[in-house]
Structure 1
């Protein structure tokens, strides 16, 4: 298998390499790990990386079984602290998930769980082995107002106030966030799996392929196996796999081997997910030594999949965090280019065309009454050029003032 690998991992840190070696092993194999991986390790950096990549739960469970005397006690103790905090968080989210489920059923609102404790149970068999900071729920878009009212009645406050011109929010965005100030629970309500413009299955299609969660006795539903694979692949891809937890999810799916290969490839082709799927499979093969079934070898060995997998090394080598703003300009610039590479020709065309659709910021530059909003279409290029010129002038003025 090593001879088939094409990802150069020599520039990632020793601490990250050790983490990868630990994650590859089953619990009973942990004491078979070669001592060389533990040489000259900065243990504080190792702990920091497990937190950054959200893998500390799995790492802790394995290191807790290890007999290696050269693993400092403070490492296991620190990981144990985070592990216990995560257990309480997952139990809290599980309880709130039950509460939301009950309220949704009373209103006869169908929904699908995307992540959270139900996903942890599905992939890892134990809610303590995956982290989650919130609950992600997919609903039909026509139920959005009902769900918002339901959540407000439950004490949730809306965190995201999406500005929109001509209802572009329906496809430019894919979720809105709510927060409960007393329970301290964050809830994301999705009407799309990913931001647009892009093709994706309708809610009814996804509902027809749903899967019953094993977490609770009352019915809760997840995405079906193939839809879940594609959703997690597209989510991880969109973030450059900058956290290993997302790739670990794909590893767990591929180990379980419960999906229909033919259906998976049909769905990937239909919704332009082939590049995303190929990249995720190749990365899992390279990083976790996962065995790739014959049905997926074409995607794994594809030159484009290999190239896209290589483009993610930037995120691993630089410990990129896309979730803390402001994102450094060098990282932001690379990420924009990376996302564009992932798009198919059709997706690139739709993406470019989306720039000609009015943005909410256009209203700030040129306020027009609602009845004249259609004029933003022909004026869009002029408004875009004007905004760029204004930003450039402001930048020059700041340079002169310094």
Structure 2
């Protein structure tokens, strides 16, 4: 596996290799020499740093090298997006504090998952990480109240979730709100990840919470062990297609995390192979520290294979967040997501297909009192839907 990994890394572009080299050396970048930068296509390098959302780190480290190796225009462009990110993070920080106060004054327990809170937590400096939105976890019974508060503050709800028989509670994991004037997106979570995966209860997460150092106003985030489980499950679900997520893993390995507790949580929620995948990638790509407690998990054949499979996303600069996703990428991603699941997770995932989908209700509308009939009718409706799609495809 190690030999295969090295062969795959050799296939990376020169620009991606340089990006990784700068990231893995940390602040010790002064031992670079001119040949490390020879033949670099700088437009492609900047594009990679933007795609992987690591340009704040890259700029800070490249600036220390001076202009002998790097064109001034490259440093200037990186500085501009670095500076823009500082303003963005300050903007988000202010909104984070405001939402925290609003929810707290309305007795809504709130855990901030990402955004400036995570940047301050892992990097000690909000300018060294990027964030496009705010992710907030609250108890599911407080969703209506949180929605009312945000709408009163000028946020607009994204009504993209369709549901039948309350499947939204476990199929989905957040609702999105957008403020048109502030240009801020807030995702209100009631789960850490979409279902049907098993998850810790909010009350358990709340008991293990930590106070954020972002502001003097008390704000709360996940305990380190819960944070690791969340970050590896989130990164894996997105194929580790952004190196920023792997750098988060590298940062958390340098914290005072309790690995014994972390391993127990990973096993309880069937993320031990996924946690191993994250550390396997962070070690090989970014020289992250591998805790000895995780050696047994990282050295599994399955864990290493999952790590090798994720290189597909990194090598090709895959973007899963912008539609349309190329068909071959979408097909690969579906297979990879399934391969990440434990046997038990696969069982419940397959079982979930027997539960009615909103598309069933659209295809065969029934009065709400008869929605229970979608369970026995599901196989028939699915067959009819597929037949209709094939027929329309042939006519097209």
Instruction: Indicate the SS of the match to 1:179.
Output: strand
Partner of 1:334: 332
Show CA shifts across 1:17-66 (max 9, x none). Answer: 10000001232x11112443212110000000000000000000001111
Residue 260 (structure 2) pairs with residue 262 (structure 1): yes
Whether contact under 8 Å (2:250, 2:282) holds in the other structure is: yes
Partner of 1:211: 210
User: Judging changes above 3 Å, is the alpha-carbon distance between structure 1 residues 80 and 355 closer, same or farther for their aligned structure 2 residues?
Assistant: same
CA distance, structure 1, for counterparts of residue 345 and residue 317 of structure 2? 28
Matches within 5 A, 1:28-39: 29-39=28-38
CA distance, structure 1, for counterparts of residue 9 and residue 145 of structure 2? 49
Instruction: Indicate the SS of the match to 1:9.
Output: helix
Given candidates 308, 320, 323, the residue that maps to 2:321 is 323
CA distance, structure 1, for counterparts of residue 4 and residue 316 of structure 2? 25
Whether contact under 8 Å (2:241, 2:314) holds in the other structure is: yes
CA distance, structure 2, for counterparts of residue 161 and residue 292 of structure 1? 40
Partner of 2:236: 237
CA distance, structure 2, for counterparts of residue 21 and residue 34 of structure 1? 12
Residue 148 (structure 2) pairs with residue 149 (structure 1): yes
Residue 213 (structure 2) pairs with residue 226 (structure 1): no
Show CA shifts across 1:200-255 (max 9, x none). Answer: 10100000000110111110011000000110111100000001001110011112
C-alpha displacement of 1:6: 5.4
Show CA shifts across 1:347-385 (max 9, x none). Answer: 001110111100001011111111110110011111111
Mean CA deviation greater in 8-17 or 186-195: 8-17
Residue 178 (structure 2) pairs with residue 179 (structure 1): yes
Residue 370 (structure 2) pairs with residue 379 (structure 1): no
Name stretches of at least 5 consecutive residues in structure 2 with no aligned partner.
none
CA distance, structure 2, for counterparts of residue 68 and residue 23 of structure 1? 19
CA distance, structure 2, for counterparts of residue 6 and residue 254 of structure 1? 23
Given candidates 341, 344, 348, the residue that maps to 1:343 is 341
CA distance, structure 2, for counterparts of residue 293 and residue 182 of structure 1? 45
The TM-score with structure 2 as length reference comes to 0.97
The TM-score with structure 1 as length reference comes to 0.96
Residue 114 (structure 2) pairs with residue 115 (structure 1): yes
Show CA shifts across 1:297-319 (max 9, x none). Answer: 11121111100000011111211
Given candidates 290, 309, 312, the residue that maps to 1:311 is 309
Give aligned pairs, total.
395
Partner of 2:11: 11
Whether contact under 8 Å (1:7, 1:286) holds in the other structure is: no
User: Judging changes above 3 Å, is the alpha-carbon distance between structure 1 residues 200 and 34 closer, same or farther for their aligned structure 2 residues?
Assistant: farther
CA distance, structure 2, for counterparts of residue 374 and residue 102 of structure 1? 42
Matches within 5 A, 1:152-167: 152-167=151-166
CA distance, structure 1, for counterparts of residue 217 and residue 229 of structure 2? 26
C-alpha displacement of 1:275: 1.5
C-alpha displacement of 1:183: 1.2
Residue 69 (structure 2) pairs with residue 70 (structure 1): yes
Superposition RMSD in Å: 1.3
Show CA shifts across 1:87-119 (max 9, x none). Answer: 101001111111111111210110100000010
Partner of 2:22: 22
Whether contact under 8 Å (1:139, 1:203) holds in the other structure is: yes
